[in-house]
Amino acid sequence: MEQIEGIVEDIIYCNNQNWYTVCEIRSGRRLITIVGYMPGLAVAENIIVRGTWIHHQDYGKQLKVESFERSLPTTLDSLLKYLSSGAIKGIGAITAKKIIEKFGDDTLRVLQFEPMLLSEIKGISTDKALRIGQSFMEQEQIRQTIMFLQEYGVSTTYAVKVWKKFGSDSIDEIKRNPYRLTDEDINIGFKIADRVAISLGIDSQSQFRIMSGIEYVLSKAIQNGHVYLPSDMLVSETSKLLNTASEVVENAMSKMIFEESIYIEKAFNESRVYLSAFYKAEQNVCKKLNILSNTEPKKAVINIEEVLSKVEGDQNIEYTQEQLQSIRLCATQSILVITGGPGTGKTTLIKGIISMFEKSDMKIVLAAPTGRAAKRMTEATEKEAKTIHRLLETTFSIDDEHREFKKNELDPIDADVIIIDEVSMVDILLMNSLLKAVEPGTRLILVGDVDQLPSVGPGSVLYDIIESQSIETIRLNKIFRQAEESFIVVNAHKINKGQLPELNSPNEDFFFVSRKNPQSTSAAILELCTSRIPEKYGLDSIKDIQVLSPSKRGDSGVYSLNAALQQRLNPPRKGVKEKPYRNMIFRENDRVMQIKNNYNLPWVISEDEKEITYGEGVFNGDMGIIKKIDLKNSSLTVLFDDGKLVEYDFDILDELEHSYAITVHKSQGSEFPAVVIALANIPPMLRCRNILYTAVTRARDLVMLVGDKEIMVQMVNNVTGIERYTSLKDRLMEQLKQL
């Protein structure tokens, strides 16, 4: 890493939201371009930067800054340049000159300690003087935060995140609890946060440190889909993380139980440790499912056979006995689960159920976990479907720290029937929030394919409900004749049964392209997406073809494939704006995905010039196209597949990723005309049947498997998948025994 000291000569570019800066500094006779996150940097400042040299394809050699130190100008000439640069809001070149003439060498002291004296200058009101003082102090606080964290080896990039989260309280907050650096929106990693904590004087054997380690291990487990950890495993992992004795961890756990931050449940032949919120969520889901299943529907379907006859006539279909019996069950049950794979008639059945309830004058609400899944549900049923978040009307708590929903026990969802699709994607927290808003007596129908991957969030809700046998469940197994003509459907069911798929189908909808290594796999995928598939099937490379990979890293992982596909499908060209961000370049017309829930992000849907809908909330997995990049106003606009138009400030671009290629997990709830699946260099833990099954079932018209056939065989044969620690199944079964 190189260290250079110099004076800032020119600010070429600065994003005022996240402080990404491109500037030139004078170091001796050299004029050097530096880039990086450098909050509040201004012309005439003296800085020391540390970083590595990079080569930009358009701008040449640059120093990418990892850390920097700065000092305010010391001479009146340099101070004039600094204030004239616009670094302090409210001060331009003319005002800067007046301030220097008035206060001279005392200028910095006045700005910091007596800003109201600025109002003595003509043209500066009392309010303006106050705003200038506040702006100067904010710059100083940002500077102090960065300098403070850099003492402990925390980079400017993370320091900016800390400032964004805690503002002027940043230093006090980190001193009070350095482990806040591991919060998800900072995500610095426990080792670094622990190093900061030890440096700040926190004893390595203090209960505060041990409790922070316990909470970190449980939080990481939740990110991996677990609801709890076995006590022995938690103690072992925490002891290893903190390099401390098991007894010390167990003592700290006792205090956390007393403070109700964790809950230990000694049941089901083991000791299970939960963060309290997840324990309560599982308990509440179990209790509410029991209440719903034991409450009679508040409205009855009268003359069911007559209604069914009318439904068949309106739908122009003759239902099978299995389907008719399923619809009858929906008429009588308060809560019901419908599960089945592709081609088993789930959509046909749901349309019949909706028609039956409509003919009985009932209000029906449809929802799904993601925007894409809700859009698919709308298209399939020709009825409006919302995301579950929109249905529950997302809001925030008073402290803006926690998500809440307006719909709950006190203000339940206004409906006689609620139908939720793609329930395999629903995690334990979202299911808890949904059930809170379902009034007993309202029918709840849960639909999903239990053999797909479980939710990205914690829990295996649909699987646990079905396996517990506590809720009436309809399993659709028969593949209908029309679906049997699709090798996608046939092979999906073969994979699900542990049988090898039939490759290279005569129907030309399911193929395997053999490649022995990740590099040749990637090259084949590029050729398929850019020429062979579009030319043969008339599909659009960006809109119609989705590349899926089980893994993120490696030559055939999502990151590498996205970079290669972007270069081929949307290369840099004149007139197309782009925005470099970290290791990516966002470009107009790029395919992108939202990778975290943002409940406050505003959107607009314009059906036509007269009808405009406004709302808030963009969610993990939503995909769209970058329509516009506005470098002047530091923003880009994405048109999502469900019609939402969303403007992103550059400071939240970490919420977006390219989506020419996405992980199989991220594809849940989506359907694409063509899917190309990378099967090379997949980590052993991801060689699972449900991953391959989920990937194949994302395709409507065409599947291309590309890679090593042996990996495909391993995935088909591996039914175990990745174990998740959840207790919902056990709770529901225990509850059933007590009835």
Cβ-Cβ contacts under 8 Å for 552 (sequence gap 6 or more): 558, 559, 663
**Does 400 have pLDDT greater than 50?**
no
Distance CA(713)–CA(351), nearest Å, equals 37
pLDDT at 287: 95
* Mean pLDDT, range 680-691, rounded to an integer: 92
Specify the higher pLDDT residue, 561 or 155: 561
CA atoms of 695 and 553, how far apart (whole Å): 18
Q: What angle do CA 428, 431, 437 make, to 5 degrees?
A: 145
Up-side HSE of residue 447: CA atoms within 13 Å toward CB?
26
Please, how many CA atoms are within 13 Å of residue 167, restricted to the half-sphere of its CB?
Answer: 3
Q: How does residue 339 score in pLDDT terms, banded at 50, 70 and 90?
A: very high
Cα-flanking dihedrals φ and ψ of residue 706, to 5°? -130, 125
Confidence class for position 729, pLDDT limits 50, 70, 90: very high
| Per-residue pLDDT, 675 | 97
Instruction: Flag whether pLDDT at 731 surpasses 90.
Output: yes
Looking at residue 401, its pLDDT comes to 52
State which of 104-118, 413-427, 613-627 shows the largest mean pLDDT: 413-427
The owner of tokens 């009679």 is 296
Measuring CA to CA, how many Å separate 712 from each of 232, 501, 592? 35, 9, 28
Q: Are the C-beta atoms of 3 and 48 separated by less than 8 Å? A: yes
Which residues are paired to 546 by β-bridges?
675
Quick check: 374 pLDDT over 60?
yes
Angle between helices 518-527 and 558-569 (to 10 degrees): 30
SS3 517: coil
Q: What is the pLDDT of residues 523-581, one digit of tens each?
A: 999 999 999 999 999 999 999 999 999 999 988 999 999 999 999 999 999 999 999 88
Higher pLDDT, 611 or 66: 66
Alpha-carbon distance 591 to 640, whole Å?
A: 10
* CA quadruple 90, 91, 93, 97: dihedral sign: positive
731-738 contact pairs (CB < 8 A, 24+): 731/282, 731/283, 731/286, 732/286, 732/289, 732/464, 732/465, 732/468, 732/470, 732/471, 733/468, 733/469, 733/470, 735/286, 735/290, 735/470, 736/468, 736/469, 736/470
Q: Which of 77-91, 127-141, 263-277 has the lowest mean pLDDT?
A: 77-91
Secondary structure of residue 606 in the 3-state scheme: strand
The predicted pLDDT at position 335 comes to 96
DSSP letters, 418-461, are EEE--GGG--HHHHHHHHHTSPTTSEEEEEE-TTS---SSS--H
In this prediction, residue 398 carries a pLDDT of: 46
Q: What pTM, to 2 d.p., does this model score?
A: 0.81
Model confidence over 586-622: pLDDT tens digits? 999 999 999 887 877 888 887 665 567 788 788 888 8
Give the DSSP per-residue string, 522-553.
HHHHHHIIIIIHHHHH---TTTTEEEEES-SS
Q: Is the pLDDT of residue 219 over 90?
A: yes
Contact status, residue 18 vs residue 650, Cβ threshold 8 Å:
yes
Give the separation between CA 125 and CA 221, rounded to whole angstroms: 55
- Does residue 233 register a pLDDT over 90? yes
Q: Give the β-pairing of 661-663 and 545-549.
A: parallel
